[in-house]
Amino acid sequence: MKKTIISVLILGIVWLCLAILFPCKNKSVKIKELNYALLFNDQNGVQLKSAAAQFGIKQPLKNRDAADDVKDGLVRIRSNSHYSIDKLTHSIPYLTDGAAELLDMIGKNFLDSLESKGLNPNKIIVTSVLRTQEDIKKLQKSGNPNAVKNSAHCYATTFDIAYAYYDKSWFKNFRFCESVETETLKKVLGEVLRDLRKQKKCYVKYEVKQRCFHITTRM
């Protein structure tokens, strides 16, 4: 038994050394940088009129207790193989069917695009989802300039995806993954959103201060 444990430990150490010495490297790729502010400039009014009010819940929720009445008609989103959910402090993880489908599509397309470019896997991170009126008041007090009273976030059709940080996969094929530069990941995510926006599947607003893409489904 003791010999078996020692053998396993030796094999583990050998594997760890090989994983470190021979990591999964990224290919050298050139990706054109987009003019995010110009390309993704769908304002809250457009998102509300054209998408949120059409596909979302009937009216904004007063507080978290009121959310219990509509949860059955929404999709509870959780971290999965396509995306990760950040710690939500001013929103709850519920979306309409169309918004949940769009989010999954973005996450999958992002991973597929990274793979096709020879870049190591990273998952997008969702930073905000359905907000109640109470949540928005708290955000406004915290100094968030994008927390408007009648936000598209109030209709379960809208979510934010961070572009300044990602959920890195540390291992691939039993080897350590070389890190992908954050700016490169942002460019790839921008391409994914650009294509889906062209297909009229979503509206996108580039938010500088919050360092996220504010996305509303059109599905």
Residues of the chain with pLDDT under 50: 12, 14-15, 18-19
DSSP state of 130: B
| Sequence spans of domains, the chain | 2-217
What's the confidence (pLDDT) of residue 1? 62
Tell me, what's the pLDDT at 71?
86
Is 216 within 8 Å of 44 (Cβ atoms)?
A: no
pLDDT of residue 70: 87
DSSP conformational letter for 23: -
* Cβ 80 vs Cβ 100: under 8 Å: no
pLDDT for residue 15: 43
Q: How many CB atoms lie within 10 A of CB 123?
A: 19
Task: Report the distance separating Cα 107 and Cα 101, nearest Å.
Answer: 10
List of E strands, the chain: 75-76, 83-85, 94-95, 122-128, 158-162, 167-168, 171-172, 175-176, 202-207, 212-217
Instruction: State pLDDT tens for residues 94-105.
Output: 999 999 999 999
Whole-number pLDDT of residue 10: 56
C-alpha span between 116 and 112 (Å, rounded): 6
Give the global pTM: 0.87
Q: What is the pLDDT of residue 67?
A: 81
167: phi then psi, degrees, rounded to nearest 5: -95, 100
Q: What confidence score (pLDDT) does residue 18 get?
A: 46
Considering only the C-alpha atoms of the chain, give the largest distance between any 2 of them, rounded to a whole number of Å: 70
